[in-house]
């Protein structure tokens, strides 16, 4: 037998960085930009300010790229900067509400890739509303998954927000087009945000603020009964102490009112007044199965979600793509394994996309554009399952579908957050929504053909 050992999560992602989007020098530039920009927009929404995010990419010499992203967000509390930026699986987005970030991994991955390819520390300048600015240079101790602080000093900054600089071995030429598309589509899914891109000192784009209203803030929801796997339930029970089972259910879960809880426990033949800490393992097991298969609960609480919404989504697509016709649809909130989600979509005609028998698909998850790995993605699969020809989509009509899935947890296929796993609840809603849009498109396309024929007479 070999020698047994463990590896840190930083070591795991160092060895398998292609799983996190850092497998080649072109995708590495893209992934660096997207991880930083996502963090910036999350932070600006948290600060309740319209995001003003500036990206500069400089090719220092062939194959060495410097990426800097600055924002007007909350800033990062000083004590937290080293762990936030130089430790894997550390962050403040582990709660049950929709954010772009989710793993506590993204920016540390980008810093790690920069460090192992160019020996550069990640540079962070940040300021919160209670502090003056501070400047950090950080390396990652990969074997132990902890930060190494090279610099930590005060630094002037014009106001709250953060600026992050990463220097990496990257292929700018191969990645610049996709970076541009990502930033443009970022404003489409976050119409309240503004993004600038400069490459080698030249301004490439300044766009956004298509819609002035900030999305309503999200608040974490209580767990949904369908998410009550044994680990979740065990933790809730451990915190419940001597509380009665009935009040435990009502307090711990959403959609579990007093009468529903009474009915549920009667059906399970468990005494509702029994103290939770006296439940045996068998009871907890039965409780978990029963909660997970409990039908007839209301729709999940949507206050943890932040859909783009009809007005904002139509406004941003009109501003960016100038289509000749648009239609919006949305479904939910519903849930997959207890995770609340909404799917919303805009079908647009005449956006300059290539006309084909299948519409061009733009995918979004928690307002983040997904530009890689569409092949095995659940959204792509559902698009292909629709018989678009029957709705009048032909290779003469350039139709684009902008499809946004938002959830308290996005079931990504890999840590690079580019592709959505096939889960029946999500696929069902996406497919139904696409068909709704298809029917709506059909009317518009028929009207359009009629008016073209009328014009030709």
Ligand X SMILES: Nc1ncnc2c1ncn2[C@@H]1O[C@H](COP(=O)(O)OP(=O)(O)OP(=O)(O)O)[C@@H](O)[C@H]1O
Q: Which of 59, 152, 229, 436 binds a second copy (CB under 8 A)?
A: 229
Is 359 near Mg ion (CB under 5 A)?
no
Nearer to a second copy, 34 or 211 (CB): 34
Phi and psi dihedrals of 210, rounded to 5? Answer: -70, -20
Using CB under 8 A as the binding rule, whether residue 162 contacts a second copy is answered as: no
Q: Is 364 in the site for a second copy (CB under 8 A)?
A: no
For 76, what's the count of Cα atoms within 13 Å in the CB-facing half-sphere?
24
Binding to ligand X by residue 215, rule CB under 6 A? no
Could you tell me which of 194, 174, 176 has the C-alpha nearest to residue 186? 194
CB of 36 to ligand X, least distance (A): 7
373-379 contact pairs (CB < 8 A, 24+): 373/413, 373/414, 373/416, 373/418, 373/419, 374/419, 375/419, 376/413, 376/419, 377/413, 377/418, 377/419, 377/420, 378/420, 378/421, 378/422, 378/423, 378/426, 378/427, 378/430, 379/403, 379/405, 379/420, 379/430
Among 25, 82, 106, 398, binds Mg ion (CB under 5 A): 106
Decide which of a second copy, Mg ion, ligand X, none touches 284; Cβ closer than 5 to 8 Å per partner kind: a second copy
Which part of the chain contacts Mg ion (CB under 5 A), choosing from 74-82, 105-113, 328-336, 419-427? Answer: 105-113
93 versus 174: smaller Cβ distance to ligand X: 93
Q: Give the interface segment with ligand X, choosing from 90-98, 171-179, 374-382, 384-392 (CB under 6 A).
A: 90-98
C-beta separation of 195 from 37 below 8 A: yes
Cβ proximity to ligand X: between 43 and 240 the closer is 43
Name the β-bridge partners of 58. Answer: 66
Give the chain's largest Cα–Cα span: 84
| Chain centroid, CA 266 distance in Å | 40
Between 91 and 110, how does the x/- string for binding to ligand X read (CB under 6 A)?
xxx-------xxxxxxxx--
- Cβ atoms of 402 and 349 within 8 Å: the answer is no
Say how far residue 326 (Cα) sits from the centre of its chain. 24
| Beta carbon of residue 105, minimum distance to ligand X (angstroms, whole number) | 4
- Under the binding rule (CB under 8 A), the answer on residue 94 touching a second copy is yes
Q: Which of residues 262-301 bind a second copy (CB under 8 A)?
A: 281, 284-285, 288
- Give the C-alpha separation, 347 to 370, whole Å: 17
- If one asks whether residue 101 binds Mg ion (CB under 5 A), the answer comes out as yes
Question: By CB neighbour count within 10 A (0-12 exposed, 13-18 middle, 19+ buried), where does 331 fall?
Answer: middle
Per CB under 6 A, residues contacting ligand X are 35, 38-40, 43, 71, 73-74, 76, 84, 91-93, 101-108, 162
Q: Which residues bind a second copy (CB under 8 A)?
A: 1-9, 11-12, 14-16, 18-19, 23-24, 46, 74, 76-77, 80, 83-84, 87, 89-95, 103-104, 115-119, 128, 142-143, 229-231, 235, 281, 284-285, 288, 373, 375-376, 409, 411-415, 419, 421-424
């Amino acid at each position: 037998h070999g020698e047994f050992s463990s590896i840190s999560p930083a070591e795991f992602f160092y060895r398998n960085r292609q799983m996190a989007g850092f497998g080649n020098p072109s995708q590495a530039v893209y992934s660096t930009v997207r991880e930083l920009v996502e963090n910036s927009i999350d932070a600006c929404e948290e600060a309740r300010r319209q995001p003003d995010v500036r990206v500069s990419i400089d090719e220092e010499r062939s194959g060495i790229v410097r990426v800097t992203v600055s924002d007007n967000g909350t800033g990062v509390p000083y004590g937290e900067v080293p762990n936030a930026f130089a430790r894997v699986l550390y962050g403040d987005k582990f709660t049950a509400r929709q954010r772009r970030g989710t793993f506590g991994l993204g920016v540390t991955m980008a810093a790690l890739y920069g460090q192992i390819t160019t020996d550069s520390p990640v540079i962070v300048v940040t300021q919160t509303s209670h502090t003056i600015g501070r400047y950090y240079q950080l390396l990652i101790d990969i074997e132990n998954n902890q930060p190494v602080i090279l610099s930590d000093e005060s630094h002037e900054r014009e106001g709250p927000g953060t600026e992050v600089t990463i220097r990496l071995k990257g292929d700018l030429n191969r990645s610049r087009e996709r970076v541009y598309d990502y930033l443009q589509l970022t404003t489409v899914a976050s119409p309240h945000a503004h993004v600038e891109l400069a490459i080698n000192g030249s301004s490439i784009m300044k766009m956004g603020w298509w819609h002035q209203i900030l999305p309503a803030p999200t608040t974490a929801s209580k767990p949904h009964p369908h998410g009550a796997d044994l680990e979740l339930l065990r933790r809730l029970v451990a915190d419940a102490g001597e509380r009665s089972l009935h009040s435990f259910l009502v307090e711990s879960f959403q959609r579990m009112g007093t009468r529903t809880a009474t009915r549920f426990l009667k059906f399970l033949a468990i005494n509702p007044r029994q103290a939770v800490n006296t439940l045996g393992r068998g009871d907890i097991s039965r409780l978990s199965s029963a909660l997970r298969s409990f039908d007839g609960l209301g729709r999940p609480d949507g206050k943890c979600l932040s859909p783009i919404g009809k007005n904002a989504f139509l406004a941003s697509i009109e501003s960016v793509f100038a289509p000749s016709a648009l239609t919006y649809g949305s479904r939910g909130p519903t849930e997959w394994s207890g995770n609340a989600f909404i799917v919303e979509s805009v079908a647009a005609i005449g956006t300059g996309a290539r006309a084909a028998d299948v519409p061009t698909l733009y995918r979004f998850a928690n307002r983040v554009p997904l530009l890689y790995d569409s092949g095995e993605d659940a959204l792509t699969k559902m698009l292909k399952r629709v018989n678009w020809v029957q709705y009048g989509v032909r290779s003469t009509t350039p139709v684009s579908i902008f499809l946004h899935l938002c959830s308290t947890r996005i079931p990504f296929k890999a840590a690079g957050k580019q592709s959505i796993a096939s889960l029946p609840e999500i696929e069902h809603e996406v497919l139904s929504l696409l068909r709704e849009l298809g029917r709506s498109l059909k009317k518009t396309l028929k009207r359009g053909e009629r008016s073209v024929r009328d014009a030709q007479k």
